[in-house]
Amino acid sequence: MAKFIRALAGERGDIRIVAADMLDIVDEISIKLGYPLNVSQTYGRALIASFLMSKLQKEGKLSLNYNCIDAPIEQMSFVAGSGVLKGAIIKADDMQILEYTNAEDMLGVGTLTVNTEADNGAVFTSSSELQSADIAREIAAYFQYSEQKPSVVVLGVRHDGRVLEAAGGIIIQLLPNPAESEIEQLERVLPKLSDFSRLLAENEDLETVLKALLEPELSFDIMEKEEFDYHCDCSRQKLEKALLGLGSDELKNIMEEDKKADLHCNFCNSIYHFSAEDLQALIDELERVK
Ligand SMILES: [Zn+2]
């Protein structure tokens, strides 16, 4: 189980803090999806970022999509919010991934797209050119330019060469028109934030880590504590819809060539098997409405 804390700080409560310890999740899903440590470091940071970003929204889902050109990881995608938390590397150059050992080398130039979807279905999309391979820096830039919210983003995923030791993150945001004293408090705490992943590796408890990291410069009040898990929203029904979307000609081709379809979910590694009878039923359904 992963842990989440929401807190407020500052004399007027103008400083919002969201933090998560996601070691269990990042570790488990990286192993399941077969990612080497350097890849799970990059993957983990983006998964943590998307979760924390969704926690800064009032409602709905958020998705984070990386598209890189000429980099070991070419495409990765993350969705968080409304009970869903999932992420996957959609496209990668396997040879390059094995060559590079540093997480910072995994991404290159390209685009970062953030989609937010409210519960009523309203979608807002923001795309920006990547300036660096530093995910925390890119997310802070997103908040600055797309939402005009100055933010400090810390994403820490550490490994010792054998196993992951820590995986977590903090986002600290200043609400509009903060008090001068609150800006000063925040500035005083900034140099200490680089200790985050070390503290997280040494401590079991996220609240203890936050106290060690932020206090006494920035004392905070906890508003919400929550435990959560990875949750992929794939289902047989959704994949049936996707198959129907191919049209009856394409389904007939699959029938003739393979006599079955095994569909794999990139996000949780589930495999959905569609037999010849299943495919025929879908074809019949399409033919009926023709
Ligand atoms: Zn899935």
State the distance from the centre of ligand 1 to the C-alpha of 290, rounded, in angstroms: 31
Compare 58 and 65 and report the one with higher pLDDT.
Answer: 65
Does residue 190 share a domain with residue 262?
no
Which pLDDT score is estimated for 105?
80
Does residue 274 share a domain with residue 195?
no
Q: How many domains does the chain have?
A: 2
**Protein residues with C-beta less than 5 angstroms from the ion ligand 1:** 232, 234, 265, 267-268, 270
Which pLDDT score is estimated for 207?
97
Q: What is the pLDDT of residues 137-150, one digit of tens each?
A: 999 999 999 989 99
Domain at 260, CATH number: 3.90.1280.10
CB < 8 Å & 24+ apart, contacts of 56-60: 56/16, 56/18, 56/171, 56/173, 57/81, 57/116, 59/118, 59/119, 60/116, 60/117, 60/118, 60/119
Question: To the nearest whole percent, how much of the chain has pLDDT over 70?
Answer: 100
Does residue 250 share a domain with residue 215?
no
Q: What is the pLDDT of residues 199-249, one digit of tens each?
A: 999 998 999 999 999 999 999 999 999 999 999 999 999 999 999 999 999
Does residue 125 share a domain with residue 248?
no
Which pLDDT score is estimated for 170?
98
State the distance from the centre of ligand 1 to the C-alpha of 218, rounded, in angstroms: 40
Does residue 247 share a domain with residue 221?
no
pLDDT band at 39 (very low <50, low <70, confident <90, very high): very high
State the distance from the centre of ligand 1 to the C-alpha of 149, rounded, in angstroms: 33
* Domain-terminating residue out of 228, 247, 273: 228
Backbone angles phi, psi at 251, to 5 degrees: -65, -35
E strands, the chain, are: 2-9, 15-21, 61-68, 73-81, 84-92, 110-117, 123-129, 151-159, 164-174, 220-228, 261-264, 271-274
Which pLDDT score is estimated for 151?
95
DSSP 93-132: -HHHHHH---GGGS--SEEEEEEEE-TTS-EEEEEEE---
Task: Retrieve residue 165's tokens.
Answer: 């030791």
Task: Please name the residues in contact with 166: beta carbons below 8 A apart, sequence gap of 6 or more.
Answer: 23, 156, 157, 158, 197, 198, 200, 201
Does residue 263 share a domain with residue 189?
no
State the distance from the centre of ligand 1 to the C-alpha of 47, rounded, in angstroms: 15
Which pLDDT score is estimated for 206?
97
Does residue 211 share a domain with residue 97?
yes
Name the residue range of residue 50's domain: 2-228
Q: Does the pLDDT at position 79 exceed 90?
A: yes
Q: Does the pLDDT at position 102 exceed 80?
A: no
Does residue 277 share a domain with residue 159?
no
Which pLDDT score is estimated for 230?
98
Which pLDDT score is estimated for 163?
94
Using only C-alpha atoms, what is the Rg of the chain?
21
Cβ atoms of residues 17 and 172 within 8 Å: yes
Does residue 219 share a domain with residue 80?
yes
State the distance from the centre of ligand 1 to the C-alpha of 28, rounded, in angstroms: 14
Does residue 276 share a domain with residue 151?
no
pLDDT band at 154 (very low <50, low <70, confident <90, very high): very high
Domain at 67, CATH number: 3.55.30.10
Does residue 134 share a domain with residue 13?
yes
Give pTM, 2 decimals: 0.94
Does residue 28 share a domain with residue 137?
yes
